[in-house]
Amino acid sequence: MERYLALSIGALFTAGFYCLLRRSTVRLALGIVLLGHATNLLLFTVNGLQRARPPLVPEGAEAPTPPFADPLPQAFILTAIVITFGLLALLLVLVHRTEQAVGTDDTQALRAELPDSER
């Protein structure tokens, strides 16, 4: 399963990178979301996958009964999902405000808005 997932993650990264390289800021935001998915799945698979129980301790026991899934990447991903969302919210509002102020969502055109000295 890890091998199939490895190929799928590569495909998601490809899609994300491709979106980043396009000119539209909408595509840019899409690309960031796709990169977030790809990275989370990467964290998920990198230490092996198990079709196992969730890492929960049964009531009254001291430790979970094996086999159980690795809890550490799950904790990381939980944090990552939330942070990606925070980042995305800021990015989207920024794109929106930029579009209002400048009237374009084209990153190449935004470059033309810089004063000459900073170009």
Partner 1 sequence: MSLSLAFLTSFAAAPLSLLITRLSRRWSGGVLAAVPAGLMLWFASRAPAVLRGELPAIDMPWVPELGLAFALRLDGLSLLMALLITGMGALVFLYAGRYLGQRRHLSRFYAWLFLFMGGMLGIVLADDALLLFICWEVTTFSSFILIGFEHKEEEAREAAQRALLITALGGQALLVGLVLLGDVAGTLSLSRMLEPERVEQVRGGSRYLPILLLVLAGTFTKSAQVPFHTWLPGAMTAPTPVSAYLHAATMVKAGVYLLARLSPLLGGTAAWEWLLTGVGAVTMVSGALLALGHTDFKRLLAYATVSVLGALVLLLGQGTAHAVQAMVVFLTVHALYKGALFLVAGVVDHEAGTRELPEVGGLLRRLPITGAAAGAAALSMMGVPPLFGFVGKELVYEACLEGPGGWPLALTAALGFSLMVAAALRAGVRPFVGGSFRAGKPEAQVHEAPSSMWAGPALLATAGLALGLAPKALQPLLGAAAAAIGGAEAGHLELKLWHGLTPALGLSAASLAAGGALFAARAPVLRGLQALHLERWGPERLYQASLEGLKRLAHAQTRVLQSGSLRRYLAVTLSTLGGLLALTLALRLRAPPPGPPGEILLHEAAVLVLMLGAAVLAVTTRSVLTSLMALGAVGLAEALLYAFFGAPDLAMTQVVVQTLTVILFALIFSRFPVEPHEERPRWRDAPLALAVGGLLSWALLHVAAVPPHTRIAQFYATHSVPEAHGLNIVNVILVDFRAFDTLGEVTVLATSGVGVYLLFRTGARQRRRT
Q: Are 70 and 47 in contact (CB under 8 A)?
A: yes
Cβ 52 to partner 1, closest distance in Å?
Answer: 5
Distances in Å between the alpha carbon of 29 and those of 77, 83, 84, 96?
20, 15, 11, 11
Backbone angles phi, psi at 4, to 5 degrees: -65, -40
Cβ 87 to partner 1, closest distance in Å?
Answer: 7
Strand partners, 53: 68
Cβ 6 to partner 1, closest distance in Å?
Answer: 4
